[in-house]
Structure formats: structure tokens, C-alpha cells
Structure 1
Amino acid sequence: MSLYILLLALITSCGNTNGTSQDTAQVVKEEVVSTTTLQQGMLVGEFKKEDLQQEPFASWFNSGYEGFTPSAEAMKTIKKNIGDYKIVAFMGTWCPDSRRETPKLFKILDDAGYDLSNLIIYGVDRRKSTPEKIETEYALNRVPTFIFLKNGKEVNRFVEYPQESIEADIAKIVSGEEYSNSYAK
């Protein structure tokens, strides 16, 4: 039974996988949706919040967004500091971690009054790739990854799951406090 659970965890992980499966290696039919590509039900490439608010993503995005209330203490810090940052985000619409954290990110940014034109968000396929190959510029290994840039330079990043809570982690990043994601070396 434990071998089955381990195998299931490896198959569904949103982390980096160097191998390819038959599903990810096959050529897929692409359909243009907004400025994004829809591949096998996944958003791939740059997209906007409005894309997640449409089916087939709306069911998990809207409930995750509406069901999340960030802590007031963290939001006070975020509101004070978030305007200094540009954010580059990577997520997979197929990934449970991305489905859990991405709606929360948008709720935090909306509650903070963040200018969403300073957010660039990319959907990746199961190989963590985009058509533009932008992920290579940011050394992407896991999703979701939210990269905080100040004056054009990376300050820190949130990767896959929070250390405390997503809002507490983001508050630490934007206030310059000590913060390391789970995969920082």
C-alpha cells in the first residue's frame, strides 16, 4: 500500500521531472484562447486572471479565491510594500499546488490594491514549459513559483507551498525579512 501511495505522489507531483511520459511527449492540438494556448485542457503561455475565471478553470479558481481570507497582519505589511515589486508567476492549471495557491495569490494582490499590470503569469505544461521558453530564464523547477522582482532584479521567490501561510511568506518577501522557500539552497 505504501508503495502505491509513493507512486501516486510521484505521478501527481508538481515538482520538476526530467523524464517525459508518453502523454507529455506527444504532439497536442493547440487552440488559441486570448493570448494563451489551451493544450489538453491546460493554459500554456502568458495569460490573465480573467482566463482563470472561465471554465474549465473557474470551478477551482473562483472557489479558492472566494474561500480565502488572508490574515490582516500580513496584509498590512503586504499593502505597505507590494507596490515596489513586479511579479513573474508560473503555475500549472493541472497542478494541485497551483490550484491551491494561485487563487490565493490573486486574492492577496486584489486586497492589497496591487496593479495587476505589474504581474506576468505563465501557465506551463506538465514538463514545466511555455511556448516562449521563458521558464529557462527563471530556472523554474516547481509550480507554482511566484518571483518577486525589485528594480529588475529577483529579490526572492515563493515555491510550491508556504512555510507559514502564503500571505505570511509574501509579507516576509516584500518587507525584506529573512525568507527561504522549501527548495532554496
Structure 2
Amino acid sequence: MKNILAALMLLFAMNAGAQELNKKMEDPNRHKQVMINQCTREGITTFPEFKESYDANYNSYVADSTQFEQLAKLLKNKKVTIVLGTWCGDSKYQVPHFLKIMDKLKIDENKIAFIAVDGSKHAENGLIDNLKIERVPTFIFTDKKGKEIGRITEHPKESLEKDMVTILSAPATTKAKTK
């Protein structure tokens, strides 16, 4: 009986911390429906307002393949968290370009996490409180231990490919950041 009770308590605790994926809400700042919290790529790319521009921006982007060999090596054992707004023009433009690069490099989708924010750049339950998000999209690159290596905020300085190479090539003591 103790084992069953312990198992039920563990199961309840695990579910209590879980958040609904691809959650939609009425944004009080934007007065329209947006996605919030953790999302999947499919959820974001099929969300009507985001999908309108996603397909066109993904298809029209010509990735800089001259950076691919180096980028593929640098992305090994790295993860990327993308904090975006489904309402945000920069997110609608940069996220499809970024995902096209990841697709061309055949990066495992499990290495990319998506967090959608509302018009005030907040998520629920403190999900992004420690990430210091000022603008979206923000692409946060982390090592296998979860330590931040660097980020691209809002838009790249040169190009997504070149900025990623710069960030991922930076010495460990230097935190490369682009705005």
C-alpha cells in the first residue's frame, strides 16, 4: 500500500509541474489570441497568425551554406531555446529562417525548445523569469550542461549563420551576444 501511495504522489507531483503545450490565450495587450509557454514546432508553425508569414519566410530564405560545415561542428552537444511571440513581426521573420538553417543542418528537433510569450514578453509560472528576455525573438544557445553560451536577440548583426558561428566559437570566458 505504501508503494502505491508513493507512486501516486510522485505521479501527481510530476503532473502538477507540467504545463499545457501549445497553449493559446487572449492577450490583454494585443487583444487577440496568442500562444504562450512551451510550444512545439508544429504548434507554432500551424498557429494561424504565425503560419501566414511562416511558410513564405521559410520558403524564400536562402541559407548561407558556406557556414554549414563549421556550424554543424559547433552545434554538436548544444541546445537552443527560442523565446518568441506569435504576434511579433521579428519572430515571424527570423524564426522561419532559423528553422530552415536547422533543417538544412539536420539538427535534431529535440535540441530546440520553443517558448512563446505574450505581448508583455511574459510566460506563465515563471517559465522565463531567469532568462532576462527584453526582445523577441531571442535565440539562446546552451552547452550540454545547460550553461548559456550566447544569444541572438531580435535580429542578427550580420546573418543568423555568421552570428551563430561567432557565438559558438567564442572563448568560454567571453559571452558573445548580438542585438
Please, which of 78, 99, 118 is the counterpart of residue 106 of structure 1? Answer: 99
Shift of 1:57: 2.2
Shift of 1:81: 1.6
Q: Give the count of matched residue pairs.
A: 149
Report the counterpart of residue 136 of structure 2 in structure 1.
143
Please, which of 38, 50, 59 is the counterpart of residue 57 of structure 1? Answer: 50
CA contact (8 A) 1:156 1:173 kept: yes
Spell out, residue by residue over 1:121-173, the C-alpha distance to the aligned partner (whole angstroms, 9 max, x if none).
10100110111322211111111101100122101001001110111111222
- Classify the secondary structure of the residue corresponding to 1:109: helix
Spell out, residue by residue over 1:67-100, the C-alpha distance to the aligned partner (whole angstroms, 9 max, x if none).
1111111222211221221111100011111111
Shift of 1:63: 1.1
Quote the Cα distance in structure 1 between the aligned partners of 2:40 and 2:138: 16
TM-score, with length taken from structure 2: 0.77
CA, structure 1 residues 176+134, in 2 after alignment: closer, same or farther (shift >3 Å)?
Answer: same
Q: Which amino acid aligns with 2:23?
A: T
Report the counterpart of residue 46 of structure 1 in structure 2.
38
- Unaligned 5+ segments in structure 1 are 1-33
- Classify the secondary structure of the residue corresponding to 2:103: helix
Q: Which amino acid aligns with 2:70?
A: T
Quote the Cα distance in structure 2 between the aligned partners of 1:120 and 1:156: 15
CA contact (8 A) 1:91 1:98 kept: yes
Correspondence 1:180 to 2:174? no
Q: Which amino acid aligns with 1:122?
A: I
- Classify the secondary structure of the residue corresponding to 2:102: helix
Tell me the percent identity: 26
Report the counterpart of residue 121 of structure 1 in structure 2.
114
Q: Which amino acid aligns with 1:36?
A: N
Report the counterpart of residue 90 of structure 1 in structure 2.
83
Report the counterpart of residue 23 of structure 2 in structure 1.
37
- Unaligned 5+ segments in structure 2 are 1-19, 26-31
Correspondence 1:157 to 2:151? yes
Quote the Cα distance in structure 2 between the aligned partners of 1:180 and 1:121: 19
CA contact (8 A) 1:45 1:130 kept: yes
Which has the bigger relative contact order, CA under 8 A and spacing at least 6?
1
Shift of 1:51: 1.4
CA, structure 1 residues 152+64, in 2 after alignment: closer, same or farther (shift >3 Å)?
Answer: same
Quote the Cα distance in structure 1 between the aligned partners of 2:89 and 2:50: 12
CA contact (8 A) 1:128 1:135 kept: no
